[in-house]
């Protein structure tokens, strides 16, 4: 199949008129490449310029925090004001100047932040992690009502700053156990006020975030969301409720919905059958259910590895965009190759250290790949065969150093 006939090469016009040049998306991966006081760096500019040259139509940044007091990991960019506007503009231009769209993913970690990084962690309710992860994550404090309103304003400010900097859209991180996801889940949201209790109250926070953003950026600036199909925990956020949230977001005018799943306590792979893994698109069955409920464009991320699976998924009509993350961390030109009808050069493999707690938590699936991103940020090529144990040791040393430096800067 020629490039011109490939379904991956077709542009997509979103309902608000925004154009995406093809059907391949770099989904968010945490870069950890900010300064220790959470400023944008030239390394991020180099990284996204490299991806844009690789042919991906839409680049979604790693999670950018809306509050410097609430970081998800050392090296997060925090976006509260225009102090980094020159570098933010360079970051956006690195993508748009090479033909790609670029959206910034905005996030608040809630309780999901390593112990010692923040002075305190906050969440909808004071629900700690399970015993396997309590050594890594401190118990959170329940948010007050005025703090919730402040967080909503911070999401809106972040969206406005993105538009001013030249980003072509934003994405709300509503998946993987971070704050928006915590509000949605009955396990982590045990409030009895307007922000919790029944399903309608639990989704009030994300709908308010969307409305506040829209008020600041207008109708022609795309706002998307990354949302769990489920969090794979008994008594947690389930598919039926996710469908209701998606329908409410569609009614509220969301421009793009990315479907994902899982949390730190229950990674997505742990909740999937072997037959689903073999199908490659982990959340395609859920996307088919979503398509019956809403017409909003859908992006599915998770598991895509081969060209036939990507083509088949697009041609099925169940989704509109293919999300790639890990393949682009080891092969930044993979999109250009796929659109040309060629398979990728390197295949994604599970990253295992042999250390049970680390492997069960899926932590290396972040740490190992973040090291490849940092290599590209330095202008180097990724190392597809790097040892997991070497990566773990280097990341742990860097995280300890980064946590200490971050706390010192705040002292």
Q: Which two tokens stand for residue 219?
A: 């109708």
Q: What local confidence, expressed as pLDDT, does residue 41 receive?
A: 98
DSSP 45-111: HHHHHHHHHTT-SEEEPSPEES-TTS-SSTT--B-SSSTTHHHHHHHHHHHHTTT-EEEEEEE--TT
Coil vs helix vs strand at 193: coil
Q: Which among 347, 268, 336, 252 is positioned nearest to 300, based on CA atoms?
A: 268
Average pLDDT, integer, range 211-231? 93
Please name each of the domains of the chain with its CATH number: 3-350 (3.20.20.70)
Confidence of residue 195 (pLDDT cuts 50, 70, 90): very high
pLDDT of residue 398 exceeding 90, the answer is no
pTM score of the predicted model: 0.90
Pairing of strands 321-324, 298-301: parallel
Q: What local confidence, expressed as pLDDT, does residue 228 receive?
A: 86
pLDDT tens-digit series, residues 141-151:
999 999 999 99
Q: How many CB atoms lie within 10 A of CB 13?
A: 10
Q: What local confidence, expressed as pLDDT, does residue 364 receive?
A: 75
Average pLDDT, integer, range 151-169? 98
Q: What local confidence, expressed as pLDDT, does residue 134 receive?
A: 84
Residue 351 CB partners (closer than 8 Å, separation 6+)? 364, 365, 368, 369, 388, 391
pLDDT tens-digit series, residues 322-340:
999 999 999 999 999 999 9
Comparing 100-104, 132-136, 179-183, 378-382, the range with the smallest average pLDDT is 132-136
DSSP 153-184: HHHHHHHHHHHHHT-SEEEEEE-TTSHHHHHH
pLDDT tens-digit series, residues 124-134:
999 999 888 88
Average pLDDT, integer, range 272-291? 71
H-run or E-run covering 213: helix 204-217
Q: Which among 134, 199, 117, 149 is positioned nearest to 402, based on CA atoms?
A: 117
pLDDT tens-digit series, residues 261-279:
655 554 544 444 444 444 5
Q: What local confidence, expressed as pLDDT, does residue 13 receive?
A: 97
CB 118 within 8 A of CB 71: yes
Average pLDDT in the chain = 89
Q: Under the phi-then-psi rule, with left for phi > 0, alpha for psi from -120 to 50, and beta for the rest, what region is 218?
A: left
Q: How many CB atoms lie within 10 A of CB 220?
A: 11
Q: What percent of the chain lies above the pLDDT cut of 70?
A: 87
Interatomic CA distance for residues 35 and 77, integer angstroms: 8
Interatomic CA distance for residues 152 and 172, integer angstroms: 11
């Amino acid at each position: 199949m020629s490039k011109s006939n490939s379904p991956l090469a077709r542009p997509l016009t979103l309902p608000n008129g925004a154009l995406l040049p093809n059907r391949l998306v770099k989904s968010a991966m945490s870069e950890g490449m900010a300064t220790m006081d959470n400023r944008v760096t030239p390394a991020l500019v180099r990284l996204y310029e490299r991806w844009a040259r690789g042919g991906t139509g839409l680049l979604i940044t790693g999670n950018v925090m809306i509050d410097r007091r609430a970081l998800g990991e050392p090296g997060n960019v925090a976006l509260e004001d225009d102090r980094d506007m020159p570098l933010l503009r360079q970051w956006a231009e690195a993508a748009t100047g090479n033909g790609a769209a670029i959206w910034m993913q905005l996030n608040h970690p809630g309780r999901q932040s390593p112990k010692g990084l923040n002075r305190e962690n906050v969440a909808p309710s004071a629900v700690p992690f399970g015993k396997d992860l309590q050594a890594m994550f401190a118990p959170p404090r329940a948010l007050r009502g005025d703090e919730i309103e402040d967080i909503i304003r911070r999401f809106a400010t972040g969206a406005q700053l993105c538009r001013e900097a030249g980003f072509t859209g934003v994405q709300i991180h509503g998946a993987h156990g971070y704050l928006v996801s915590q509000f949605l889940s009955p396990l982590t949201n045990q409030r009895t006020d307007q922000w919790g209790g029944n399903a309608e109250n639990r989704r009030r926070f994300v709908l308010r975030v969307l409305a506040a953003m829209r008020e600041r950026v207008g109708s022609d600036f795309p706002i998307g969301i990354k949302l769990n199909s489920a969090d794979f925990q008994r008594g947690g956020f389930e598919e039926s409720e996710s469908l209701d949230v998606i329908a409410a977001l569609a009614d509220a005018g969301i421009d793009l919905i990315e479907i994902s799943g899982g949390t730190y306590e229950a990674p997505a792979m742990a909740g999937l059958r072997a037959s689903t893994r073999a199908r490659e698109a982990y959340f395609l069955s859920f996307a088919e259910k979503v398509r019956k409920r809403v017409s909003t464009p859908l992006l599915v991320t998770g598991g895509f590895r081969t060209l036939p699976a990507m083509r088949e998924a697009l041609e099925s009509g169940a989704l509109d965009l293919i999300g790639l993350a890990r393949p682009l961390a080891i092969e930044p030109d993979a999109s250009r190759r796929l659109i040309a009808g060629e398979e990728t050069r390197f295949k994604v493999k599970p990253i295992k250290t042999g250390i049970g707690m680390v492997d069960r938590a899926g932590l290396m699936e972040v740490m190992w790949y973040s090291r490849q991103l940092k290599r590209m940020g330095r202008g180097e090529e990724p190392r597809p065969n790097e040892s997991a144990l070497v990566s773990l040791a280097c990341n742990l040393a860097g995280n300890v150093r980064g946590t200490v430096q971050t706390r010192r800067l705040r002292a």
